[in-house]
Amino acid sequence: MGTFLRFALTLSLLFCMAQGKLLFYDFVVKETPIKMLCETNRTILTVNGLFPGSEIRARKGDTIYVNVTNIGPYGITIHWHGVRQIRYPWSDGPEFITQCPIPSNSSFLQKIVLTKEEGTLWWHAHSDWSRATIHSPLIIMPAYGKMYPYKFDQEHTIVINTKAIIDEALETGGDTDLFVAYTINGQPGDSYSCSNGLAYNKTVVCGKTYLFRIIHSGMNEEMFFGIAMHNLIVVGMDRAYQKPLNTNYLMITPGQTMDVLVTANQNPGRYYMVFSPFVNTNAPSNKNTPVLIELPGFTNKSDAGNFTIQLRSLNSKEHPSKVPTKITRNITIAVSVNQQPCPANKTCLGPGNTTMHSARSLNNISFSAPSVSILQAYYNNINGVYNRTFPDQPPTLFDFTGNVSALGEAANVTTEVLKIDYNDEVEIRFQGTNFGAAENHPMHLHGYSFYVVGIGDGNFSETDISKYNTVNPPYVNTVRLPKNGWAAIRFKANNPGVWFMHCHLERHSSWGMDAVLIVRDGKKKPQKVRPPPKDMPPCSVSSS
């Protein structure tokens, strides 16, 4: 499949060269033994035997082809997190949404179309919990001949990860184990006895400025991040430039990326880069102990919120903000941690012998994935795969963040889609609820970036609209919905196709905190979904 296909693609797609280059990568998904993560006898799924996987670098306007060969034990999919994939959802990746998994011992050539993306993104598996070990950076530099809107001397990429275990939780309906290990670029920190001096470190030169591309690939925990004795200047987030924000810490959720400038302006020495799981850990005692930083505590809701509300788009001449202001579709989505009754003749580990499996919901719908791809069913007009009745509003209005003990917590487990017309100007208001163990939710939308025009605590009120930022709100693909709070986003529905929307906490997405948006074709040919490739993975082959 390799040489001939690549030659043919080069001949037939030369017209793309005017905007950018064609880049080719080979990914081999396989099981690989590792001697990190504080375990010596663990085998994990990797791409090309690496953890994290192979980094991809491209420029704005390039087109990337990745031949994914799966020689692992079960089906796999790969998602290009934050890439809009204009009119081409076929390579977006979420299993049973835009494709069926790539079966063992087979390949799928994925096409990644870069248009307006510029900055730090990442790619990861999008089937079950396999993204825990299958992920890596996707770095998109400015277009050929263009410059960054800020200056730096050198850049480094930092991938943070929290590897959790899901098998027992899926079986019992309880919550997941917290973690096997926290890692930075695949290495545990000094606070782990097994690190053996292999903790990630970088040598910097006094007086120089460094761009750190930070990717939160972790499964279930939001993180504070800081560097001892150094300020951070946030200049980018989720592949879009931000108005520079000077801060001494970051709040970053699973799925998010941040571009941060750091100037090495302290005395020569060793300074810890710390994510919040390391805050309460004693540093090793030696003659050259790194300087430790104290980050906000795990329960410090005010500092988490204060960081988020300070973010602004760059909104410059070359990178303008284009916030939709003529809203034609207004949607409110209640985000809930439901609890389902335990099945008969089974012991469950959820509260009161309930199960938390398939018990997270959006508008009281706990998403159930079909056995065939929703995109393929939509494109080929196959009936019976999904329903078209996802509501624009919560089915029942109540005090979302108040006392909900008198209300039933069970959700409807079903496969629903939300249909949106092409070119609609959409506002979605995510409303957190007080069901179960209320917490923050990083909500991610495929196929789009969006403007976060408002965020706040408690129940959303129409009076909050007057406080919206429609001038320079952050332009992101993942928004942090506060615990018992709300977040309002806006985007123009100008990318037709089937797009997944979900919480990026894996335990929540696995248990139904998902929805599918279908943006209908426009009337003109350039407004319609492109045809599928011929090598789409078959849906008739078992993924297990």
Asked if 184 and 199 count as a contact pair (C-beta separation under 8 A), the reply is: yes
Asked if 331 and 426 count as a contact pair (C-beta separation under 8 A), the reply is: yes
CA–CA dist 135, 79 (Å, integer) = 9
What's the predicted TM-score (pTM) here? Answer: 0.88
Walk along the chain (544 residues) and give the pLDDT tens digit of each residue.
Answer: 333 333 334 434 444 444 689 999 999 999 998 776 666 677 889 999 998 899 999 999 999 999 999 999 999 999 999 999 999 999 999 999 999 999 999 999 999 999 999 999 999 999 878 888 899 999 999 999 999 999 999 999 999 876 544 444 444 444 444 445 566 766 666 666 666 666 777 889 999 999 999 999 887 788 888 998 999 999 999 999 999 999 999 989 989 999 999 999 999 988 888 887 533 223 333 345 566 677 766 556 666 667 888 999 999 999 999 999 999 999 999 999 887 677 666 666 655 555 545 578 999 999 999 999 999 999 999 999 999 999 999 998 999 999 988 777 678 999 999 999 999 999 999 999 998 777 889 999 999 999 999 999 999 999 999 999 999 999 999 999 998 999 999 999 999 999 999 999 888 888 889 999 999 999 999 999 999 999 999 997 544 4
**pLDDT value of position 193:** 64
Sign of CA dihedral 255, 234, 491, 55: negative
| Helix or strand holding residue 8 (H, E) | helix 2-12
Asked if 423 and 494 count as a contact pair (C-beta separation under 8 A), the reply is: yes
Q: 43 to each of 40, 49, 98, how far by Cα in Å?
A: 9, 11, 29
Parallel, antiparallel or unpaired: strands 360-362 and 329-337: antiparallel
CA 31 and chain centroid, separation? 24
**pLDDT value of position 385:** 96
In the chain, % helix, strand, coil (3-state, to 5) comes to 10, 35, 50
Parallel, antiparallel or unpaired: strands 257-263 and 232-237: antiparallel
Of 273, 190, 275, 198, the closest CA to residue 35 belongs to: 198
CA–CA dist 340, 408 (Å, integer) = 10
CA–CA dist 396, 209 (Å, integer) = 53
**pLDDT value of position 15:** 40
Asked if 254 and 218 count as a contact pair (C-beta separation under 8 A), the reply is: yes
Segment 374-379 long-range contacts (CB within 8 Å, at least 24 positions apart): 374/96, 374/97, 374/98, 374/415, 374/417, 374/498, 374/516, 374/518, 375/89, 375/90, 375/97, 375/98, 375/99, 375/497, 375/498, 376/99, 376/100, 376/532, 376/536, 376/539, 378/498, 378/518, 379/529, 379/532
Per DSSP (E only), the strands in 458-509 are: 475-476, 478-481, 485-492, 497-503
CA–CA dist 24, 22 (Å, integer) = 7
Q: Is 340 helix (H, G, I), strand (E, B) or coil?
A: strand
Of 136, 131, 134, 193, the closest CA to residue 159 belongs to: 136
Segment 319-322 long-range contacts (CB within 8 Å, at least 24 positions apart): 319/149, 319/240, 319/241, 321/451, 321/471, 321/472, 321/473, 321/475, 322/492
Q: Is 348 helix (H, G, I), strand (E, B) or coil?
A: coil
Residues whose CB falls within 8 Å of the CB of residue 291, separated by 6 or more in sequence, listed in order: 228, 229, 269, 270, 271, 272
Residues whose CB falls within 8 Å of the CB of residue 132, separated by 6 or more in sequence, listed in order: 44, 161, 163, 164, 219, 506
Type of residue at 466? S
Asked if 256 and 441 count as a contact pair (C-beta separation under 8 A), the reply is: no
- Cross-strand partners of 456: 486
Residues whose CB falls within 8 Å of the CB of residue 37, separated by 6 or more in sequence, listed in order: 163, 180, 181, 183, 188
CA–CA dist 237, 455 (Å, integer) = 17
Asked if 460 and 310 count as a contact pair (C-beta separation under 8 A), the reply is: no
**pLDDT value of position 281:** 28
Q: Is 240 helix (H, G, I), strand (E, B) or coil?
A: strand
**pLDDT value of position 462:** 94
**pLDDT value of position 68:** 98
CA–CA dist 32, 271 (Å, integer) = 33
